[in-house]
Structures are given as structure tokens and as C-alpha cells.
Amino acid sequence: MIHKISAEPRVSEKSARLPTLAGIFYPSEAEGLKQTLASFFEATVTSVSNPKGILVPHAGYLYSGPAAAVSYSRISPDFDGTFVVIGTSHSGFENSVSDIDWETPIGTVKADTEFAEAVALPKDNAAARKQENSLETQMPFIAYRFPQAKIAAVLMGDQSPEGAADVSRAVIDAVEKTGRRIIVVASGDGSHYVPAKKAETDDLTCLAAIKNLDVNAFYDALYAVQPSMCGYGCIAATAEIGKALGALEARVLTYTTSGDASGDYRSVVGYASLEVI
């Protein structure tokens, strides 16, 4: 008896997470992706500051890639520690951590399984496999610029002050347990589908409030301004973790909008790069 063999690959608990947005958010071919990433870094004029954390946008590379490269450029390409990538869950999954590798068209980003195990959040590799641009868009940047680094991916559905506190506490405790050298990547976009001037004013007003790593002031600004921003909880958690690691301030490095790529400034999405140092 001949059985039909499924074309779908079998996915086990420990299987690497396959790219779902290649060819949509970024090039699917290795050489094309390398050229795209190289062009972003070549166009970035900045210096290495080795921050404790960074804010990186997570849209299609055409729109947010240049701003993302500004943040990643502040980190030495020799970094061989662990990136704790904290990404917004647009689908509303609970805060969780995963310990699987991530495949990209230009190589595999290896998971720091020991560190992920030490992070006291629910482990949910199934949620990490869902199509989620906040996490996936970061992986080609890491594979390209930091081939020796590992990652621990945190999916953050609860963006509240309590949710941010839970994530920051879990990561800080894991650092203390493992002694790992980490850099936190907060994956978040700015205001959505508003005029460019409003997006810039709202987003930069809120980011100014986190300058001194004061999470309460940041949430006060969010409540007052009500920006259509995603990933603000990721920013708050990164500020708290950075402060525990010795950072003193959060500095905005650049701000762009989708209008800078499309030419349409009537309805944009904002993209900020920021370092916690």
C-alpha cells in the first residue's frame, strides 16, 4: 500500500524556526539579502558605543531597514554574547520565551538554550513559530552582522507596566544566574497611519520620557499622548534591564517614517532607533 507523503516538513519541539517573511519583508535570496543589509550599514554614519540595549523597528526592510541598521551599528560586529530579542506579539500571545534556532536565508541564528531556560517566563516554541514580524525581521540583521552571537527570543503580548516588569525581572534574574553578557533588542514601531508630523511629535515626545530610564515617566507620557505605537512594553522592559546592567540613559539616534521611502507623508508608520547606554 502506497501512502501519500506530506510535503510539509515535520516540526519537532526543537526544530529550527523557518523564515515565513522572506520575500515579503526582506529578500529571500541570500545574495540579495546580503546586498540589502550591506547597503544599510554602508549608509550608516555612526560609531560603536556598545549599548546595553537598542530599539529597532520591525517593518519591511524598504521602510525600516535604514533605521534598524543605525541601532545595530552601535554594537561591535565582534559581539559574541547573547541578544535578548523582545518582540511585540501582534497576535496577543502571552509573554513567553523560546529556545529554538532561527533560520534565515543567510544562515542560522543559534539559540542560547541555557540562558532561555533561566528566563522565568513560560516557554512557548509553538508561539515563536507563528508568523510574527517583530521577531523575524531582527534575525537576518543578527545573522549578517553578528555571526558569533546567540539569541533568546521573548514574545511579549502584555505591554502593560506589569507585563514589562515581569519580562525585565525574568531577564535580569537570568543574567544573574548565568553570568551571560547580553544586549537587549526591543522590537517596536512608532505611530501607525497618521500624518508624518503627528507621528514624529507623538513618538519623540514619548521616547523623550524614557531618556532617564524612568519607566513610570514613560508610561505617563504614553497615557497622555496616546500614540498608535506598538512595542512600548518592549521599550520599557529594555530600559529596566539596561538600568540593572549599569546603563544611565536612553538616546534617540534617528527617526524616520515610511513616508521617507514612499514619498507619501499623509499616513505613515514611524521608525525610531534608540540606544540604552
Q: What is the pLDDT of residue 11?
A: 57
Q: What is the pLDDT of residue 261?
A: 97
CA–CA separation, 235 and 187 (whole Å): 8
Q: In order of start, what are the domains of the chain with their CATH numbers?
A: 30-276 (3.40.830.10)
CB 86 within 8 A of CB 58: no
Enter the pTM of the model.
0.94
Q: What is the pLDDT of residue 3?
A: 42
Q: What is the pLDDT of residue 92?
A: 85
Q: What is the pLDDT of residue 12?
A: 59
pLDDT digits (tens, 9 = 90+) for 96-139: 999 999 999 999 999 999 999 999 999 999 999 999 999 999 99
Q: What is the pLDDT of residue 7?
A: 45
Give the residue ranges of the chain where pLDDT is below 50.
1-9
Residues 6+ apart with CB under 8 A from 2: none
Q: What is the pLDDT of residue 74?
A: 98
Q: What is the pLDDT of residue 13?
A: 64
